[in-house]
Amino acid sequence: MTRLFSPATRDALQAQGWRFALLPDGLTLETLRRAGASFKGTKYFDQHASDAHEEPFEGGDIAYRPGLMPDSLNRTYDESPALLDGLNRLLPPGATAALGSAAAYAWLLDDHHTRAGEWLLPSCFTWTLDGHRSGHLVIGAFGRTQPILVSPLPEGRGRGVGVMPLIVPEPASAPMAHPLR
């Protein structure tokens, strides 16, 4: 079942300046790579993918804004739940903020670039739901061609890393509504 915003929630989010996309179900980084996503090289797939754990992210409506959430840059992964909770207080009924999976962000980066001609995360990374044996995965866009870069970040904090929230319909499944609990 595809999850969609109600018309009232969609209108309220649009009035707040959110953009929309319809995220497909069943995305993984590997399926996106085979489909031709704009990944920067193969280092992640050659050296890190076998040690990563991708969290499923349910397809359906998502709302987003380009760039990172204000005041989220250089904050730790563990600070993400408080940032998302703060954003939830500003959202209309029927919507909740979440971190996305690396695959959800990779798809959105490519989709938005195709539609709007701009990269959503230029020269910065966002935290993702996905784990790695050495820490967490981050994703961002660097360069003009083949810009999407996925990397493990063992430190739990890093320069140029923040939160790009995805807004999803409520009620959300556990990984979407409470991505870090």
Per-residue confidence band for 8, with pLDDT thresholds at 50, 70 and 90: very high
Q: Is residue 81 part of a domain?
A: yes
Q: What angle do CA 1, 97, 68 make, to 5 degrees?
A: 125
For β-strands 161-162 and 125-132, DSSP reports them as parallel
Mean pLDDT of 139-155: 87
Q: What angle do CA 102, 125, 75 make, to 5 degrees?
A: 110
Q: Is residue 44 part of a domain?
A: yes
Rounded Cα gap, residues 86 and 97, in angstroms: 9
Q: Is residue 180 part of a domain?
A: no
Q: Is residue 142 part of a domain?
A: yes
Q: So what's the pLDDT on residue 175? A: 42
Q: How many domains does the chain have?
A: 1
Q: Is residue 21 part of a domain?
A: yes
Task: Name residue, tokens 């539609």.
Answer: 115
CA 8 to chain centre: 24
Q: Is residue 93 part of a domain?
A: yes
58-113 per-position pLDDT tens digit: 999 999 999 999 999 999 999 999 999 999 999 999 999 999 999 999 999 999 99
Q: Residue 29: give the domain boundaries.
A: 7-170
- The alpha helices in 93-172, defined as continuous H runs, are 102-116
* Least trusted range by pLDDT, from 16-25, 155-164, 172-181: 172-181
Contact 129, 57 (CB under 8 A): yes
Q: Is residue 15 part of a domain?
A: yes
Q: Which residues contact 179 (CB under 8 A, 6 or more apart)?
A: 55, 80, 81, 84, 98, 99, 129
Q: Is residue 175 part of a domain?
A: no
Rounded Cα gap, residues 146 and 36, in angstroms: 10
